[in-house]
Amino acid sequence: MTRTKVMPPTAGDFDALEAMEPTEYAAKEKRLVRKIDLRLMPCLIFMIVLKYITASGPYLKY
């Protein structure tokens, strides 16, 4: 898999968003939110688990 260079948005990008139908815009927004959730949620859950483990660490008996 090759990475593409991220380019800053141009005025044409914003025009394309304004030209979209509301249903198409909602579908794209839903896909974007899902993509962000799939990237962030595992990391957040891992951090919460680590916080719980370190907070209860001194009280654990072996």
Average confidence (pLDDT) over 58-62: 61
Tell me what pLDDT residue 53 has: 83
Q: What pLDDT shows up at residue 27?
A: 93
Q: Which of the 8 DSSP states describes residue 20?
A: S
Structure-model confidence comparison of residues 31 and 57, the more confident one: 31
Separation CA 39–CA 41 (nearest Å): 6
Q: How far is CA 1 from the centre of its chain?
A: 20
Tokens of 32: 């974007």
pLDDT tens figures, 2-45: 778 888 878 887 888 788 898 999 999 999 999 999 999 999 99
Is 0.75 topped by the overall pTM? no
Domain boundaries, the chain: 23-57
